[in-house]
């Protein structure tokens, strides 16, 4: 009752995309945007239209999200008019609900980087905000280097922010671009800003260079800011951005914030947080941080002994919040009741009805644990989990058998005398007593195997004709000669449904084969073949 609304702004797809080694495809961006939307994030900053083909394409269509879909870009360049700036034009043309402009607010940067005057910088902010407001967009202004700028010349930094606010910007966002500010400084400076601009229009954008981006964000809220910007898992260049995965549960579960504020993430959505965090890691082909606060696998792990028995009696004895509130689980070595509820929750999520006391649940849990121990990852491979569950519950028909497959890789000179590497796969399947043999050439062994496998499945062929492999990811799980390979395959069908399957083996072809098989069988199950 009467709690103030705080707004969450996610920039995983824009600032997070600056992370070393992160390269989102259009499909990745759409999948992550949907995930953020389902999580209850208010604003999704998806990219920089006009800056690269992926982002331009991303903003070419309405994306139909509940969240405010936000495009990022620069204010008009110095010395140009708004009507004569291609960057600004691309922003205004983008199919976005909101536009977030970035502008300098540190006089030193205006002089040295922009090589222009303070007046021209303010004029650029004013003109750009005005142009976007005229186009009926919600407008945000990211004040770059605000905290350093404020320390150097408070009047100028404030003038930048105030200019945007006066022109009708919904939010003025104070950025700690270099990430060097400390919580007490942020609290003091934000406290000064909200004397000039109402806190309900002030946002915080913190970077993690002193590992205090989360603390800085919370300090800004305490001082009056009402929008928090951050990324999933703290993704972002250098040391990352403020981690929304830590901020969200803090706001929801810690009294000081929970009593004063409400956010767009419901209790039910909060329960999907751990899953969202791990899904992003799997998409990026990164090992999730086991020790990540709230969502890490070890965040609520306790070794057997006094702690464990105390936790069994009264979890609050050793836990700062209940792990299930964020979709994580307690890990005790003595008993794994929590694991069972996890599996039950998963089954419910995919729509399989099973009685709580059904002994097959225990068996499924055993199988999942055994397989995860050797490298399978079911957090991302939803389709493989569903198949595994259906198999243990006896609900997958045996459509076909692969009796044998053979893949060869050959390097030779072709007729033109060029050196080429050719892969050929031959697959022998048995469908309803009928033996079928297919062969296919591919640009690599997995591609050849995939093509051969899907070439002729007899009476099931019509069900898989729209099946398409859309992504293929490989991770080596432990180095050296004992290395095990995990393959994640993403598939899509004619209806646009996507699913991911997993295979694990010391042999990459075998791991790929498992994932391909799961994908085909999953499609047959879903199609009711």
Residues 224-243, interacting with Zn ion (CB under 5 A)? none
Q: Which is nearer to Zn ion, 178 or 438 (CB)?
A: 178
Using the contact rule CB under 5 A, the part of the chain among 11-19, 62-70, 261-269, 275-283 near Zn ion is 11-19
**Residue keyed to tokens 């703290």:** 234
The residue count for binding Zn ion (CB under 5 A) is 1
DSSP string for residues in 258-292: HHHEE-S--HHHHTTHHHHHHHHHHHTT----TT-
| For Zn ion, the closer CB: 13 or 364 | 13
Sheet strands (E) in 387-526: 401-413, 419-431, 434-442, 468-476, 485-492, 498-505
Residue with Cβ nearer Zn ion (15 or 324): 15
| Distance in angstroms (rounded) separating the CA atoms of residues 238 and 20 | 8
Q: Which residue is nearest to Zn ion (CB)?
A: 15
The correct pick among 15, 148, 167, 187 for binding Zn ion (CB under 5 A) is 15
CA distance 407 to 409: 7
Q: Are 228 and 6 in contact (CB under 8 A)?
A: yes
Binding to Zn ion, residues 280-299 (CB under 5 A): none
Q: With binding defined as CB under 5 A, does residue 187 bind Zn ion?
A: no
- Beta carbon of residue 176, minimum distance to Zn ion (angstroms, whole number): 8
The distance of closest approach from Cβ of residue 170 to Zn ion in the complex, given in angstroms and rounded to an integer, is 19
What is the smallest separation between the CB atom of 125 and Zn ion, expressed in angstroms? 18
Q: Looking only at residues 250 through 279 of this chain, which bind Zn ion when binding is defined by CB under 5 A?
A: none
Cβ neighbour number for residue 42 with a 10 Å cutoff: 20
Nearer CB in complex with Zn ion: 15/85: 15
**Span from 10-18, 38-46, 287-295, 466-474 in contact with Zn ion (CB under 5 A):** 10-18
Measured CA angle at 148 (ends 145, 150), to 5 deg: 100
Q: How far is the CB of 19 from Zn ion (least distance, A)?
A: 11
CB of 213 to Zn ion, least distance (A): 10
Return the bridge partners of 458, or none.
none
Nearer to Zn ion, 15 or 450 (CB): 15
| Closest approach of Zn ion to the CB of residue 363, in Å | 48
Smallest distance, Å, CB 11 to Zn ion? 7
User: Considering the complex, what minimum distance in angstroms separates the CB of residue 203 from Zn ion?
Assistant: 12
Q: Of the two residues 120 and 209, which places its CB atom closer to Zn ion in the complex?
A: 209
β-pair type (419-431, 434-442): antiparallel
Shortest Å, Cβ 313 to Zn ion: 45
- The number of helix segments (H) and strand segments (E) in the chain equals 20, 18
Three-class SS of 304-360? CCHHHHHHHHCHHHCCCCCHHHHCCCCEECCCCHHHHHHHHHHHHHCCCCCCCCCHH
Quote the DSSP letter at residue 242: -
Q: Which is nearer to Zn ion, 15 or 379 (CB)?
A: 15
By CB under 5 A, which span of 2-10, 12-20, 216-224, 323-331 interacts with Zn ion?
12-20
- The smaller minimum CB distance to Zn ion, of residues 15 and 107, is found at 15
Which span (15-23, 35-43, 464-472, 514-522) binds Zn ion, by CB under 5 A? 15-23
Output 228 or 427, the one with its CB closest to Zn ion. 228
Strand locations in 95-137, DSSP E? Answer: 98-104
Return the residues of window 347-376 that contact Zn ion according to CB under 5 A.
none
The whole-angstrom distance between residue 375's C-alpha and the CA centroid of its chain comes to 21
Residue 317 near residue 311, CB atoms below 8 Å: yes
Assigned token pair, 189: 């400076």
Place of tokens 């296919």: 440
Enter the tokens of residue 217.
């964000």
Question: Binding residues for Zn ion, per CB under 5 A?
Answer: 15
């Amino acid at each position: 009752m009467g709690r103030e609304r705080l707004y969450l702004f996610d920039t995983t797809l824009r600032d997070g995309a600056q992370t070393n080694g992160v390269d989102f495809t259009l499909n990745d961006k759409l999948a992550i945007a949907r995930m953020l939307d389902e999580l209850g994030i208010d604003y999704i900053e998806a990219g920089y239209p006009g800056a690269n083909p992926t982002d331009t394409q991303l903003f070419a269509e309405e994306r139909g999200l509940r969240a405010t879909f936000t495009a990022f870009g620069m204010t008009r360049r110095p010395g140009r008019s708004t009507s004569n700036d291609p960057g600004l034009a691309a922003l205004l043309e983008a199919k976005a609900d909101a536009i977030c402009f970035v502008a300098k607010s540190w006089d030193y940067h205006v002089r040295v980087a922009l090589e222009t005057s303070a007046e021209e910088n303010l004029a650029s902010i004013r003109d750009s905000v005005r142009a976007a407001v005229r186009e009926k967009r919600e407008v945000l202004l990211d004040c770059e280097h605000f905290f350093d700028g404020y320390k150097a010349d408070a009047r100028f930094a404030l003038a930048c922010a105030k200019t945007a606010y006066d022109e009708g910007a919904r939010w003025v966002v104070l950025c700690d671009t270099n990430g060097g500010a400390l919580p007490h400084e942020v609290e003091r400076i934000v406290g000064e800003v909200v004397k000039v601009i109402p806190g309900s229009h002030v946002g915080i954008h913190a970077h993690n260079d002193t590992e205090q981006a989360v603390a800085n964000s919370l300090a800004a809220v305490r001082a009056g800011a009402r929008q928090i910007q951050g990324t999933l898992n703290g993704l972002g260049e250098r040391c990352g951005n403020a981690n929304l995965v830590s901020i969200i549960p803090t706001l929801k579960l810690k009294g000081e914030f929970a009593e004063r504020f409400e956010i767009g993430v419901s209790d039910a959505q909060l329960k999907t947080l751990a899953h969202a965090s791990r899904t992003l890691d799997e998409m990026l082909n990164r090992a999730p941080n086991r020790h990540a606060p709230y969502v890490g696998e070890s965040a609520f792990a306790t070794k057997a002994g006094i702690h464990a028995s105390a936790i069994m009696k009264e979890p609050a004895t050793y836990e700062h919040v209940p792990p299930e509130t964020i979709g994580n689980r307690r890990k005790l070595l003595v008993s794994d009741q929590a694991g069972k509820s996890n599996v039950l929750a998963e089954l419910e999520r995919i729509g399989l009805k099973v009685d709580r006391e059904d002994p097959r649940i225990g068996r499924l849990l055993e199988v999942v644990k055994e397989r995860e121990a050797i490298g399978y990852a079911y957090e991302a491979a939803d389709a493989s989990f569903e198949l595994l569950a259906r198999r243990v519950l006896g609900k997958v028909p045996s459509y076909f058998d692969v009796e044998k497959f053979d893949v060869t890789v050959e390097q030779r000179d072709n007729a033109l005398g060029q050196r080429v590497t050719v892969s050929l796969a031959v697959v022998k399947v048995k469908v309803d007593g009928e033996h079928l043999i297919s062969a296919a050439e591919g640009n690599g062994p997995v591609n050849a195997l995939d093509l051969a496998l899907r070439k002729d499945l007899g009476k099931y062929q019509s069900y898989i004709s729209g099946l398409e492999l859309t992504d293929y990811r490989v991770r080596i799980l432990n180095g050296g000669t004992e290395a095990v390979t995990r393959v994640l395959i993403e598939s899509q069908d004619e209806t646009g449904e996507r699913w991911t399957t997993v295979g694990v083996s010391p042999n990459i072809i075998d791991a790929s084969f498992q994932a391909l098989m799961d994908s085909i069988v999953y499609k047959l199950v879903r199609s009711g073949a």
